[in-house]
Amino acid sequence: MAIRRGRGVAAINYPTGMNLGGDPTQALVHSTPTGNFMVTLSSVDLGQGMKQIMAQICAETIGVPTDRVVVDTADTDTGPHCMGTFASRGTHRAGNAVIQAAREARQVMLEVAAEELEVNASDLDTDGQGNILVKGAPQRSISIFDVALSAHFKRGRSISGRGMFLIPRSYPDKETGAMKPSTCYAHACTVAEVEVDDETGEVTVLTVKNVFEIGRALNPKMVEQQLVGGSWMGISHALYETTEPYYPDRDHGGTDFNQYLMPGPGDLAQTEIIVLERPSADGPFGAKGPGEMCANPQIPAVANAVFDAVGVRIDTLPITPERILRALKAQASN
């Protein structure tokens, strides 16, 4: 009986969004009378940071600091239509819609500024700090605060915009059934190193090294946090989590979170994250959707590492000590 070490590799690709009905998402952007901007969406922030990313996208498009943008995710009665927050679609679909709405709002803002400065709107640009400048003559400028006041109380203009992103619909080929379910895919590869006690069946994940290709990381620190958390979730799915350990029999299944098995801080492996940026042609500033993919490649990588360590293939999750021991026993009897 011994502690055996193994290494497993797995690579995946993951579609961003879906094909159903063009997978549309809408966004509205408008200025307050004091030059802040509101983004209205029905896309919901589930904790993944959507509000922050949408604020960044809007701010970059209009040309204002991010702290001048507020994102309201409202609901499906009061907000513009969205298919939902799922399928790793939020950044890609809502981000594109926000860009369209912000561009329209920016154009109105520049037109109002042009009237105040007595120039053409095409001669103006923003400095990213809350001001609008005449190109080539930056001493001639006006604050976005003053432009918003003028629009609301002098010019009678609404600094606002509407955006809707819709992917080209792909229909199955009548002969082959082939179709294109997504316009862009994210990719990942994981290498997991484990130790398996062949007497107890216990698995210890030593290291997990992940490489993710996600288009473009719009907020690198948030991306890193999500990918690290996702990697830990993948380990949890691979080795711990189940509500029905003897499916389809419900016996011994956890009935609440006190009984639901998940790894604690002492069970988490040393984790390395590498992000590759290959901007998507149709992504907002090149971004794809890393959301669900981040917890996927660890599962087959751990399964492959267990096989490498003790020579048995476990094809049912989670990979529990009992399943490993049963597989070893079956292998020895053959």
Active site (annotated) includes residue 292: yes
The C-alpha atoms of residue 287 and residue 326 are separated, in whole angstroms, by 45
Please provide the DSSP assignment of 1-28 as one string.
Answer: --EEEEEEEEEEEEESS--GGG--EEEE
**193, 272, 292, 322: which is the annotated catalytic residue?**
292
Please provide the DSSP assignment of 236-248 as one string.
Answer: HHHHT--S-TBTT
Query: What's the token pair of residue 221?
Result: 């620190």
Please provide the DSSP assignment of 126-187 as one string.
Answer: E-SSSEEEETTEEEEEEEHHHHHHHIIIII----EEEEEE-PPP----TTT------S-EEE
The C-alpha atoms of residue 230 and residue 102 are separated, in whole angstroms, by 31
CA angle 232, 185, 24 (to 5 degrees): 105
Residues annotated catalytic, as ranges: 292
